[in-house]
Amino acid sequence: MVSSRLPFSWGFQKANIKSVLLALLIWAAIIGGSVVWNIDQCYQSKRNLAIAEARSNWSKDNAFRTWATRHGGLYVKPDARTPPNPYLSHLPHRDVVTEQGMKLTLMNPAYMIRQMSQEFDNVYGIKGKITSRTLLNPINRADDWELTSLAKFDNGVTEIVEQSNINGAPYIRLMKPMIMKKECESCHGHLGFKEGDIRGGVSVSVPLAPYWTEAVNTVQLIYITHFIIWLIGGGFVVIFWGLIKNRESQLKVANNELLENRELLELRIEERTHELLNKDKLLLESQALAHQASKMAALGEMASGIAHEINSPLQTITLLNYRIRKGFEKSDSNIVFQSSDKLDDMVSSIAKIIESLKNLSRGCNNEAFVWVSVNQIMEDVFSISKERFLLKSISLKVNYTDNCQDTKLHCQRMQVGLIIINLLNNAYDVVLEPRDRWIDICISADNEYVEIKVINGGPKIDDSVKDKIFQPLFTTKEVGKGTGLGLSLSLGTAIAHGGSLHLADSHKNTCFILQLPISNIKSKEDV
Amino acid sequence: MSQKTLLIVDDVESLRDVLASVLEDEGYIVFKAGNGIEGLAVLKSKKIDLLITDIFMPEMDGFELSMEVRTKYPQAKLIIISGGGNVRSVEKANKFDAVQAGQDLLNPDSILKKPFAPSELIELVESVLS
C-alpha cells in the first residue's frame, strides 16, 4: 500500500509558529546578552576613568603635600577663613610677627590640604581627606570605609580603590597610606609617631554621578542600536520563515499531487494487469478461434475454387447429354459415341478435382511422405485455385527452369501444396491494382533442393512488418479477412521438411522463396 | 436465308467444342476461339453475326473483347456467358463487377448464366438473331 511518508521534506523540523518564536527568542537572548555586556563595559570604562581621575588627584595632592612638608609648612596671614590652627598650639613658633609687625600663623601640610580639599569639593565635587585613627583635628575623623581601609594598611596593602556611597551618592574612593617622614615629626611627633610609621591614610573620592550621566546616554544608544539589530534579525527570521512556509506549502501541494498520482498509477497498474490477464485469456481463446477460422477460411477458399472448377465440366456434361439425345433422334451413332467419350473425359476431370480435394482433406500432420513430381504438386494447387485467379483477371504463370517439372521430391504432398496455396492466397489479396495483377511462380531444382519462388505484382513488403509476418497471429489484412496463421503454419511445414521459407530481400516486388530438400533423413527412413 | 455465323470464345476447350457442336446442329456456322485475342483474329477475317463469349479468360477477357466488338463491329450481336454457378459471389468479388458493368456499358443482347440448359441456349440464340 501507499506509504504515508512524504516523498520530499526539509532536512530540519517543520517551520511552525513555535519554532519561529523560539528563533526570535534566541535572537533576543543573544541581543540581550550583548546589551548586558556592552552596558557592563560602558560602566566599567566610566569607572576606570573615575579611578584614573582619583589617582591623578591623589598624586597632585601628594605632590603638593610633599612640597609643603619639605618646607615644614607655610606661614600665612591669619584671618577668619584661616585662623591659627588650635591643634598646633603645642608648637612654640606657631604664630610669629615679622620685623615690620606682620602677624603670621603656621599652616602645616595637613591643614593646607584639608582647606584646599574643602574648596575643591565645593567647586569640583572631588573630596580629598587626610585621616587617621589618631587625630590632631577631630574634623579629620575617619568614616566607616576609611576605618576599614586603614585597618587593611596594617596588613601591608598599599592602595585601596573601591566604589562606595557617600551620603547615598556613588563615589570612586581611593586611599593610600601616609608614611611618617622626618619633617612630619615636628607637628606629629608628640602623638608618638616616628619616621616610617603609618601615620594614617590619604583618600580621594571622585563622584560617579557625572560619569553615570554620560553612561546613561551611552546605554540609551546601546539599547537603541541593539533593538534595531534585533528588529533586522527578527525580520530576517520572519521573512525566512515565510519563505519556508511558502516552499512548504508548495511541497505539500507537490507531495499531495505525487501521492495522488502514485495512487492513480497503482490503480492503473492494477487495472492494466487485470486487463492484461483478461487479454491473455482472450488471446488464448482467440488463438484457438483463429486457428479454427483459418481452417474454415481455407476450406471456404477451396470450396469456392472447386465450385468454379466443377461448373465448366458440369455445363459441358449437360450439353453433351443433349447432343447424345440428338444423336439418338438422328440415329447418328457418331455423335452418340463422340459425346459419350467426351462425357467420360468430363467425369474423369471432375473425379480429378475430387481427388485433389480428397488429398487436401488428408493433408494433415500425419500425412505420409511420398515421391511426387513438382508438376504434380502444381497441378494439385491449380486444380482448386486457378479459377479463382482467372475470375479476378490475375495472370498466373509457372516457369520451370531446366525442365525441372519432372523432378521428384520426397515430401508430404498436400502439405507442400497447401504452402503454395497459402502463398497464392496471400498474393490474391495483395494484387488489387489492374497493373499489378500478376503472379509468377518460378521453380528450379538442383541435386539437393527444389526452389519455388512465388512473386506477385504487389510492392515490396515494408521493412517494419518484414520481421513479423512469420509470427503466429500477425496479419496486415483487414479484420475478419486474415487469421495471421498462414505464413507461420507454412514456415512450420517447410522446416519440418528440412527446408525453409523466407522473403527475398532483393526483389523489387513481393517474393517468397520456398526451398525443399529433394530427400531428407526423415523421408529416407520412410522409404 | 443465308446461314448465320457465330463465334464462341471460351478458354475451356471441351465446353467450347460441345457448344459449337450443339449450335452447328441447329444450322449455324460456328467459329471457335480460346481467348479474346484469338477471338479478335477471327472477327477480322470473318463476318460474325453473333458473339458468344465467356467473361473470365486468360490473356484477353470477355469484357475487353466485348468492348472491341461493340466499337469495331456494331452489327454483331452479343451474348455473354457469365462466370459460373456462384454469380453473386463473382459479382461481389470482382472489383469492376464485370456482369453488372457488362450490362450497363456493353448492353449485351442477352446474358446466359451457367449452368444453363441446351434448349435455353438455342432459344436465346434464335431470338437474338431474329
pLDDT digits (tens, 9 = 90+) for A470-525: 776 566 665 445 556 678 778 888 888 889 998 888 888 888 999 999 886 544 44
pLDDT at site A458: 80
**Closest Cα in chain A, distance from residue B76 (Å):** 25
Question: In this model, does residue A355 exceed pLDDT 70?
Answer: yes
Give tens-digit pLDDT for A308-334: 678 888 889 999 999 999 899 988 888
* Residue A251 to residue A245: CA distance in whole angstroms: 10
Tell me which residue in B19, B85, B93 faces A319 most closely, judged by beta carbons: B19
Three cell numbers written together for A499: 527446408
Mean confidence (pLDDT) of chain A? 82
Tell me which residue in B22, B84, B89 faces A319 most closely, judged by beta carbons: B22
Tell me which residue in B12, B22, B83 faces A322 most closely, judged by beta carbons: B22
A322/B89 CB distance under 8 A: no
Contacts of B93 in chain A (CB under 8 A): 391-392
Contacts of A387 in chain B (CB under 8 A): 56, 84
Q: Rounded to 10 degrees, what is the CA torsion of A471, A477, A481, A486?
A: -30
Q: Find the closest chain B residue to A344 by CA distance.
A: B14
Q: Does residue A512 sit in helix, strand or coil?
A: strand
Interface test with A, best of B8, B18, B21 (most A CBs within 10 A): B18
Share of chain A above pLDDT 90, in %: 20
Q: For residue A370, list its beta bridge partners.
A: A411
Q: Find the closest chain B residue to A432 by CA distance.
A: B95
Share of chain A above pLDDT 70, in %: 86
Mean confidence (pLDDT) of chain B? 80
Main-chain phi, psi angles of A322, to 5 degrees: -60, -40
Question: In this model, does residue A4 exceed pLDDT 50?
Answer: no
Contacts of A394 in chain B (CB under 8 A): none
Question: In this model, does residue A292 exceed pLDDT 90?
Answer: no
Top pLDDT among A304 and A174 is at A174
CB A294 within 8 A of CB A487: no
> In A144-208, which residue ranges form alpha helices assigned H by DSSP?
144-154, 185-188
Three cell numbers written together for B110: 442477352
A323/B86 CB distance under 8 A: no
What is chain B written as a DSSP string?
-PPPEEEEE-S-HHHHHHHHHHHHHTT-EEEEESSHHHHHHHHHHS--SEEEEES--SSS-HHHHHHHHHHH-TTSEEEEEES-S-HHHHHHHSTT-HHHHIIIII--SEEEESS--HHHHHHHHHHHH-
pLDDT at site B19: 93
Compute the half-sphere exposure of residue B88: CA atoms within 13 Å on the CB side of its CA: 0
Tell me which residue in A312, A335, A393 faces B15 most closely, judged by beta carbons: A312
CB B81 within 8 A of CB B102: no
Tell me which residue in B89, B95, B117 faces A318 most closely, judged by beta carbons: B117
Cell 461493340: give the residue.
B70
Tell me which residue in A314, A326, A393 faces B115 most closely, judged by beta carbons: A314
Query: Which residues, in sequence order, are CB contacts of A311 under 8 Å at separation 6+?
Result: B84, B85, B114, B115
pLDDT at site A515: 92
**Closest Cα in chain A, distance from residue B75 (Å):** 28
In this prediction, residue B87 has a pLDDT band, given cuts at 50, 70 and 90, of: very low
Buried b (16+ CB within 10 A) or exposed e, A5-21: eeeeeeeeeebeeeebe
Contacts of B21 in chain A (CB under 8 A): 319, 323, 335, 339
Question: In this model, does residue A457 exceed pLDDT 60?
Answer: yes
Q: CB pairs below 8 Å between A and B: how many?
A: 78
Give tens-digit pLDDT for A240-257: 888 888 888 898 899 899
- Whether the ipTM is more than 0.90: the answer is no
**Closest Cα in chain A, distance from residue B12 (Å):** 7
Nearest 5°: the CA angle B112, B115, B119 is 70
Read off the pLDDT of each residue in A30-52 and give the average, rounded to a whole number.
93
Tell me which residue in B22, B86, B116 faces A307 most closely, judged by beta carbons: B86
Q: Find the closest chain B residue to A387 by CA distance.
A: B56
Q: What is the 3-state secondary structure (H, E, C) of A298-344?
A: HHHHHHHHHHHHHHHHHHHHHHHHHHHHHHHHHCCHHHHHHHHHHHH
Share of chain B above pLDDT 90, in %: 37
pLDDT at site A524: 42
pLDDT at site B86: 39
Top pLDDT among A85 and A186 is at A85
* Residue A324 to residue A345: CA distance in whole angstroms: 15
Contacts of B95 in chain A (CB under 8 A): 392, 432
A390/B11 CB distance under 8 A: yes
**Closest Cα in chain A, distance from residue B18 (Å):** 6
pLDDT at site A32: 93
